Structure 1
Amino acid sequence: MFYWLMKRVFVGPLLHLVYRPWVRGAENVPEEGAAIMASNHLAVIDSFFLPLVLDRELVFIGKQEYFTGAGVKGRLTAGFMRGVGTIPVDRGGGKASEAALRTGLRRLADGDLFGIYPEGTRSPDGRLYRGKTGIARLALESGAPVIPVAMVGTDEAQPPGRRIPKVMRIGVVIGEPLDFSRYQGMENDRFILRSVTDEIMYAVMSLSGQEYVDVYAATQKARIATGHPAVAGDAADHLPAAPGGRPVPDVQVPVPPQDESGTSVG
């Protein structure tokens, strides 16, 4: 109930009015049945705008810190996150992360949508980083299709350190579902998990037009935080230019749709 009140009565109408989000490929989301929405992650507001453009309820995994903040702000944030169905996860891994994945599996078993950011954390610089294989386990164990998603412009609207997003158009591009039923029963094969994850990330890259860096975003953030040079991710670093060593797709960052007069619509 709280989810739909926020989306249709309180927060949703305001976001539509101010940011005029546009969406491409909404028809790729099934009207019913389980599916995993796998999105790039550019800003905190990704978790607001992706559910906003969908007709179905979508919940995400959220970092544990959202639920443990102190003071009035911390309690409000925790209450909001619980109200919209966010599932807390300890990004340190281990049993806590396993429990979060099991919660996702239960949601998928109920025929619902489940959102996940395969990079594991926000991109530190707007580029696309290596996906973690938890999403592959989720797909293979649940049998649910994976729908790749590209958030567009959220990093410009809300760069790191900015609390209130800048007013601008926000875009969402949704790709065709990916079926991994051919790997059923192989969820414990780490090579299969990496292959599936790379296929998902390649689909996201093909939608978003982002440059790819074949290291984990958390590793990049740690290097930056400790004063070490960030990994560039280009050919000079001998890193793959696309997930799984695939060729770089010939795509650009999506732009808002335009009407015949050249005015952005959507």
Structure 2
Amino acid sequence: MPELPEVETIVRGLRSKLECNRFIEVEVYNENTIKNPKCIKEFKERIEGKKIREVKRRGKYILLILEDLAHVIIHLRMTGQLIYSEDQLNFSHLCLSAKLSKGYLYFNDIRKFGTISLLPKDDLAKEKGFWTLGVEPLEESFGIEYLKSKLDTGRPIKSLLLDQRVLAGLGNIYVDESLFLAGISPSKPAKTLSDEEISKLVSAIKFVLTKGIENKGTSFSDFVDSYGDKGTNQNFLQVYGRGGEKCKVCGNVLAKDKIAGRTTVFCLYCQK
């Protein structure tokens, strides 16, 4: 599933192309993609003719804020792709296409788990999972004191970091990478972290996310940016997806386990 760096990469690519652009005609090919409103006809009537005022990211969500302040809320889920082109394109798993006043916007999704909602600004609480998002880890509101206030729990630190109500946008890739960089075992109970470990973890999270964005995201299979290009961050990963391989720091074999229902890779020697 695309995480914060992948979604941010898409948003940055779309911003200059979509802001002040206008939806002219929208075609929906998979009705299950449209989460709100349930009526496809209503969805089209409310979006067609509207100018896009702003393109933003919140956690793993892409937001297109329209001129009437209604929000188009897009979640890519496992395999969703949001691609802009000045020319018409063909896709094998197209769920939605939009003709704009300049160019075209496509939502392609092989597994069709991705969702799109169109909600008035006052109704955003209807988007389950969006309204309850925690702080953004790259903003000033995320720091040592904030994280420390969330650690009063015996659950593994990895489980806590994956909780979108605590931090918005972190997923399996960047949690594993952050914990490795901070030297913290993913199974360590959150409430046992020392002040020094908390400080290292905050810095590590900000670092790996920033590098992920600089590298245009991690592409293993389906992730592409807003123009259909793959990212390069997969070339710089220290532990994620490398279970059974040698640690790049100490040379010992990386361990693999299930934590919070997610495959987790870590170093038994570098992480305590």
Whether TM exceeds 0.5 here: the answer is: no
Larger Rg: 2
Give the TM-score, by structure 2 length.
0.28
Greater length-normalized contact order (CA 8 Å, ≥ 6 residues apart): 1
Structure number with the higher strand fraction is 2
Structure 1-normalised TM-score?
Answer: 0.28
